[in-house]
Amino acid sequence: MKKLSLLYTGKAKKVYATESPEYCIFEYKDAATAFNGQKVGFFDGKGMINNKMANAIFKLLEKDGIKTHFVEELSDRESLVKRVDIIPLEVIIRNIAAGSFCKRYGSEEGVVFDKPTIEFSYKNDALGDPLINSYHAYALKIATEEDVKTIKEMAFAINESLKKIFLKMDIRLVDFKLEFGKDVNGEIVLADEISPDTCRLWDAETNKKLDKDRFRFDMGEFSDVYFEVWNRLKECYGEV
């Protein structure tokens, strides 16, 4: 399938139409942004790593019965995915206190929760992706009660699979962000990407941060840790 018109330019990827209304093509960029695009950077290979890592993880999740938009890897930085209507909710699951959770609630970083948490942000750059609850989502007609029920069930199931996938790589899954979309049949599937951009990943032995926080907070070794995670994934799961 070939790339046709550009549908959408995101901060880390471009989305193109194809000759089929059922599919689109993602093209991952080497760019990195943080704090709603205020901080900008890049490294050679980031687009390749995020593309290949997201695809490998989607395939592993599919094996666990999770429906995703993934269809086929087309090149190092391009993939064919199902065309979906994105539900404009950023769905965040947390297993360990970090990031905005600590900032908002004054919690100490690294505290392990008895149960994972879930929260939603309204995916809207102009508004700065504000935190919302499910009743706000119904009021804004972003999602129905049934959609939210499905999204919650899928998000917690994805958390269980992802924790297992990363633990095999000697990585603790601290928190992550998911996006869901409705495919042409109206079915909710996992969309967007799962990568060190969208997860907090800590080394299981040392708690070294192996994710985009190294870029967000100028911690150094930004590209090194992405290659580290990608190499561990290949070692554990081969070319998936």
Q: How far is CA 94 from CA 31, 84, 148, in A?
A: 25, 26, 17
- Residues in Cβ contact with 234 at an 8 Å cutoff, skipping those fewer than 6 apart: none
Select from 43-51, 143-151, 195-203, 218-226 the region that touches ligand TMP (CB under 6 A). 195-203
Q: How far is the CB of 92 from ligand TMP (least distance, A)?
A: 5
How many residues bind to ligand ASP according to rule CB under 6 A?
Answer: 8
140-154 residues labelled b (16+ CB within 10 A) or e (exposed): eebbeeebbeebeeb
Answer for which of 199, 210, 225, 233 binds ligand TMP (CB under 6 A) is 199
Select from 31-39, 41-49, 103-111, 144-152 the region that touches ligand ASP (CB under 6 A). 31-39
Contact between 195 and 54 under an 8 Å Cβ cutoff? The reply is yes
Beta bridge partners of 16: 6, 25
Q: How far is the CB of 139 from ligand TMP (least distance, A)?
A: 22
Answer for which of 2, 35, 44, 186 binds ligand ASP (CB under 6 A) is 35
Going by DSSP bridges, is the β-strand pair 70-73/85-86 parallel, antiparallel, or unpaired?
Answer: unpaired
Q: Which does 200 bind (CB under 5 to 8 A by kind): ligand ASP, ligand TMP, none?
A: ligand TMP
Q: Does 105 bind ligand ASP (CB under 6 A)?
A: no
Q: How far is the CB of 216 from ligand ASP (least distance, A)?
A: 5
Please identify the residue of the shown chain whose CB is closest to the bound ligand ASP.
33
Q: Does 29 bind ligand ASP (CB under 6 A)?
A: no
Answer for which of 10, 45, 99, 116 binds ligand TMP (CB under 6 A) is 99
Contact between 81 and 191 under an 8 Å Cβ cutoff? The reply is yes
Q: Which does 11 bind (CB under 5 to 8 A by kind): ligand ASP, ligand TMP, none?
A: ligand ASP
Check the CA dihedral 156-8-85-50 and report its sign.
Answer: negative
Q: Does 200 bind ligand TMP (CB under 6 A)?
A: yes
Q: Does 116 bind ligand TMP (CB under 6 A)?
A: no
Q: Does 193 bind ligand TMP (CB under 6 A)?
A: no
* CB of 80 or CB of 210, closer to ligand ASP: 210
Q: Residue 143 and residue 196: Cα distance in Å, rounded?
A: 27
Closest Cα to residue 196, out of 226, 151, 153?
A: 226
Q: How far is CA 51 from CA 18, 54, 230, in A?
A: 18, 5, 11
Beta bridge partners of 188: 182
**Which positions lie near ligand ASP, rule CB under 6 A?**
11, 33-37, 212, 216
**Which positions lie near ligand TMP, rule CB under 6 A?**
92, 99-101, 129, 175-177, 198-200
